[in-house]
Each structure stands twice: as C-alpha cells, then as structure tokens.
Amino acid sequence: MRILHVSFLIFVLAFLIFEVLKLTQVSLPEWTTSYLNDFLCMPIVLTVCLKAVHHFKKDSSITLSLSLILILTSFYAVYFELVLPQISDRYTADFIDVIVYFSGTFLFYFLQYVSFRKSGRNRKAA
C-alpha cells in the first residue's frame, strides 16, 4: 500500500507545484500546460475514491475493479471533453486529453496492483 500512498503524494505535489508555476507565469513546456493536469487527474481522483471506500467499508483490502475504474474515467472524459466544451469557452475538446486520462488511469491501476501484491493482502474488488 505504501507505493500507492507515496505515488499519490508525488502526484498531488506535482500538481501543486505546476499550479504555482502557472500562477507565477513561469514559462513551461507546452505539453505540461496541455496534458499534465489531465494525466495527474485520474490517479489522484481514483486514490481518493479508493481511500473513501476503505474508510466507509472499514476494510483496507478492497481494491477498485478495472471496470469501475474505466467507467469513472469514461465519465470524466465525456464530461470534460464533450459536455463542458459545449457550455463553456474555458474548455476545449481534445481527443489527446482522453488518451492522457486513460494513461493516468492505467498508471493508477498498475500502482494499485503492485501495492496490494507487495502488501501480501488478499484483494477484494469493489
């Protein structure tokens, strides 16, 4: 479980540093301004969801199933890449963002798998 916790802290720290750099108008590579937050989004959201399940079920051996992870990621992709661009000029539809969301999702799934495998606990899928 430690790998997932450390990864989560690194992702949140990277997000916060990136946001501070944007606010202070530091020049950043274009790929970071276009895709970094989208990549970090799903590992952060999914880790928070996993910890919420652990808290409410009082069982830290539960993992998020691949189907649940993919459904949640699909919801984010549809909402942020199809719905919001229709109702707000602040958002733009970009298929690469969808690929980046799913890349972050598969990173989370891998980290979750490694974390529970190393802990030696029997996993129960949510």
What is the distance of C-alpha 27 from the center of its chain? Answer: 25
> In this structure, is the dihedral angle defined by the CA atoms of residues 112, 114, 116 and 119, taken in order, positive or negative?
negative
Q: pLDDT tens for residues 13-63? A: 999 999 999 999 999 888 888 899 999 999 999 999 999 999 999 999 999
What residue spans define the domains of the chain? 2-125
CB 105 within 8 A of CB 46: yes
Return the pLDDT at 1. Answer: 64
pLDDT score of 125 more than 80: no
Q: How confident is the model at residue 79 (pLDDT cuts 50, 70, 90)?
A: very high
Q: pTM for the full model?
A: 0.89
